[in-house]
A and B are shown apart, each in its own frame.
Chain A
């Protein structure tokens, strides 16, 4: 009996242990996380919404990925700097101009840092900005329709990396050149000189883009800078509002094998820019207006929804050697990458890629040093402060390769360590590490919703990892980048979720869904459609020939096109299908694809008009059809165009249902 009791006790013990393991689960890499707990925390039941939107740059895909958090569900991709066949962005006649630059039409971009607009230092859900590195540009995306509404090109810049960071009331979006190039003194014109004349000729610029109440962007001023590489930035806030901080590396001014030659100096610089003072100088007309041709492309649905390009010929340039008090250099160890200002605005943390500590500068000490002219010297005419005079503290043992820092609003900072693949949590006042967690693998940026604002939502952290390796089913040599969601609500960080991301997210931003959801457009009122080629009823549909240009004014509704039989088109014509979607229901776009068109389909939102251009090359009858499964009779949603030889006299005719 006794024996039996003992046996069954042992058995139940084993069962409980087994149950424990079942409920905890085992993730790869030997992570015995409390997975059931984690699963509950990231579980968003069918039909329920996530608590946060996450906006992730797409890196070399040029777009912006939208993810729900905490589920990690990929809910949308916003086309920004690259053509997108998914809806015709950059292909349709209405959107082509968005990708126009002084180098002509560029179908691709390298998107890096999304940044939400802010009011009073807090994310406000109006817009999200994003920079493009390769052809220097900044985009503004409207969060009412999740569409790119404006793109401005940055002149006198050779790689727009330290961008698009906003000031606390979105007065400005900043942009600084990653690559310096030879610039003529005075005109900043690019020069035909030997590359090894770097030290003599190469310079950089930092631009401040003014944002109007409606969101329109214009370059207010550029500041001429020494020929370093400018890497990242963040604006000050609270006591440091009015300042922006930019990391630089390559203070060695090397022009070859930078991994060795730009890693020699013990310290590079953070450039502290007094943008308020610079803006005053600009307002007073100080500095020089110089040639600086750049495009501003914008699209406004209310103005007809056709992108317009504006060419701006000049730009104001401020020279900090002549205009006192706008730039100071803060010596910062070993090629700093990220620069992040804590929510109180008192501290400036830098991630030195090769540094063994995280230096934290004090804004108050920086100001004292400036006031007392406590300078270590000058660098190309710009005052350099003393490291020890401005230092708040150094975080010891922060992991290898510290890169970027975000904040939880509870006195803690979180820094990614690229080389040691971990996130390190540290106390800002004490500059002491309090917790660390492994991530898989090699994190670049990290994101806490509102984590670079004055008011972070310190609940979740997303680690944006550069290396994926074995985290998902293998997909050949190329893998989606891995992101990981970490619970930061408690003292110990807890890994909750892996999720794949498109392209290469560099930075990301998060915002409480409530701030964005309420402003969502569901359709465009057809009565307010101001497109010059809109067709607001089937009665107005027509086909008009003008020389070899043919304009088709077409409508769609479930489940037919009007007209759907078109004749009289000839080889060599340029046919413009202006398709207006008469639907007024949420989520009922119609697509339009034409056989042989050298462009993508267009996806027309309810109440919208988009135009597809087609140049028929062959004689015959060619079908077109709706690409978006719109209704039970979607497969019936089709039509034909008859194409006659170039010299034929087939008259234009069109109809539906006859």
Chain B
């Protein structure tokens, strides 16, 4: 009898020691919350993307100076993966402004990781290309210029 008492004492001690550890199941929670967030995308976000650009960007008549700067930045920071007329590492962008809003493209450039993780359109494009789009650290002004250039090329 007393042997059992002794043993159970030890077992309880051991269990107490192990009980101190925990923390599994966190991943499931974060996955679930990511799904929730996706469901929570606003109509604006669905059309214009998630990120620092939280208002519609209107592109009127092309500003040739801005488009020229946009081409320079595009060649330097985007052109290693995107061509205008053909699929390369990433999708061709010659007509992109006919199918995506300027704010969407800017948010994808400026907030690449979150867009790729949460936006259903960005997510589905990502699955078509083996190489993931990278953040090339453009400023908002530079991203705006790129969009002007792409709009010019989409005409």
- B80/A562 in contact, CB under 8 A: yes
Q: For A539, give its contact among B75, B88, B131, B136 (CB under 8 Å).
A: B75
Which A residues between 507 and 532 are near B, CB-CB below 8 angstroms?
Answer: 523, 525-527
- B136/A584 in contact, CB under 8 A: yes
- A523/B137 in contact, CB under 8 A: yes
Q: For A560, give its contact among B9, B89, B135, B137 (CB under 8 Å).
A: B89
- A633/B77 in contact, CB under 8 A: no
The answer to whether residues A538 and B135 also contact, given A7-B2, A657-B88 and a CB cut-off of 8 A, is: no
What are the interface flags for B112-155 relative to A under an 8 Å C-beta threshold, 1 for contact and 0 otherwise? 00000000000000000011101111000000000000000000
Within 8 Å of chain A (Cβ to Cβ): is B40? Answer: no
Q: For A555, give its contact among B80, B130, B134 (CB under 8 Å).
A: B80
The answer to whether residues A582 and B80 also contact, given A7-B2, A633-B131, A657-B88 and a CB cut-off of 8 A, is: yes
A-chain residues with CB within 8 Å of residue B88 when the two chains form the complex: 657
Give the size range of A's interface with the partner.
Answer: 20 to 34
Within 8 Å of chain B (Cβ to Cβ): is A558? Answer: yes
Within 8 Å of chain A (Cβ to Cβ): is B13? Answer: yes
Q: How far is the CB of B127 from chain A (nearest CB, A)?
A: 13
B-chain residues with CB within 8 Å of residue A11 when the two chains form the complex: 6, 9
A-chain residues with CB within 8 Å of residue B13 when the two chains form the complex: 15, 19
Q: How far is the CB of A43 from chain B (nearest CB, A)?
A: 14
A-chain residues with CB within 8 Å of residue B137 when the two chains form the complex: 523, 525, 584-585
Within 8 Å of chain B (Cβ to Cβ): is A588? Answer: yes
The answer to whether residues A633 and B130 also contact, given A15-B13, A584-B136 and a CB cut-off of 8 A, is: yes
Within 8 Å of chain B (Cβ to Cβ): is A536? Answer: yes
Within 8 Å of chain A (Cβ to Cβ): is B34? Answer: no
Q: How far is the CB of A48 from chain B (nearest CB, A)?
A: 15
Within 8 Å of chain A (Cβ to Cβ): is B19? Answer: no
Which B residues between 1 and 23 are near A, CB-CB below 8 angstroms?
Answer: 2, 5-6, 9-10, 13
Within 8 Å of chain A (Cβ to Cβ): is B81? Answer: yes
Q: How far is the CB of A533 from chain B (nearest CB, A)?
A: 16
- B80/A537 in contact, CB under 8 A: yes
Within 8 Å of chain A (Cβ to Cβ): is B99? Answer: no
B-chain residues with CB within 8 Å of residue A527 when the two chains form the complex: 73, 76
What are the interface flags for B74-114 relative to A under an 8 Å C-beta threshold, 1 for contact and 0 otherwise? 01110111000000110000000000000000000000000
Within 8 Å of chain B (Cβ to Cβ): is A557? Answer: yes
A-chain residues with CB within 8 Å of residue B130 when the two chains form the complex: 632-633
A-chain residues with CB within 8 Å of residue B73 when the two chains form the complex: 527
Q: Give the one of A15, A557, A588, A631 with max B CB within 10 A.
A: A557
- A631/B132 in contact, CB under 8 A: yes
A555→B89 CA distance, assembly (Å): 14
Within 8 Å of chain B (Cβ to Cβ): is A4? Answer: yes
A558→B136 CA distance, assembly (Å): 12
Closest to B73 in A: A527
A-chain residues with CB within 8 Å of residue B10 when the two chains form the complex: 15
- A526/B131 in contact, CB under 8 A: no
A112→B5 CA distance, assembly (Å): 62
Q: For A558, give its contact among B6, B9, B75, B131 (CB under 8 Å).
A: B131
Closest to B112 in A: A585
Q: For A12, give its contact among B9, B135, B136 (CB under 8 Å).
A: B9
- A557/B81 in contact, CB under 8 A: yes
A560→B88 CA distance, assembly (Å): 11
Which A residues between 130 and 178 are near B, CB-CB below 8 angstroms?
Answer: none
Q: How far is the CB of B31 from chain A (nearest CB, A)?
A: 19
Closest to A537 in B: B75
Within 8 Å of chain B (Cβ to Cβ): is A8? Answer: yes
- A588/B131 in contact, CB under 8 A: no
Which A residues between 532 and 556 are near B, CB-CB below 8 angstroms?
Answer: 536-539, 555
The answer to whether residues A583 and B134 also contact, given A11-B6, A15-B13 and a CB cut-off of 8 A, is: yes
- A631/B131 in contact, CB under 8 A: yes
Q: Give the one of B73, B77, B88 with max A CB within 10 A.
A: B77
- B134/A537 in contact, CB under 8 A: no
A527→B137 CA distance, assembly (Å): 11
- B9/A584 in contact, CB under 8 A: no
Q: How far is the CB of B24 from chain A (nearest CB, A)?
A: 15
Which A residues between 545 and 598 are near B, CB-CB below 8 angstroms?
Answer: 555, 557-560, 562, 582-585, 588
The answer to whether residues A557 and B76 also contact, given A8-B5, A657-B88 and a CB cut-off of 8 A, is: no
A56→B132 CA distance, assembly (Å): 38
B-chain residues with CB within 8 Å of residue A657 when the two chains form the complex: 88
B-chain residues with CB within 8 Å of residue A15 when the two chains form the complex: 9-10, 13
B-chain residues with CB within 8 Å of residue A562 when the two chains form the complex: 80
18 further interface pairs, Cβ-Cβ under 8 Å (given A558-B131, A633-B130): A8-B2, A11-B6, A15-B9, A523-B137, A525-B137, A537-B80, A538-B80, A559-B131, A560-B89, A562-B80, A582-B80, A583-B134, A584-B77, A584-B134, A584-B135, A631-B132, A632-B131, A657-B88
Provide a sorted-by-A list of 10 A–B residue pairs whose CB atoms are within 8 angstroms.
Answer: A12-B9, A15-B10, A526-B76, A527-B73, A527-B76, A555-B80, A557-B81, A557-B134, A559-B131, A632-B130
Pick the 7 closest A-B CB pairs, nearest first: A537-B75, A584-B137, A557-B80, A584-B136, A537-B76, A538-B80, A536-B76
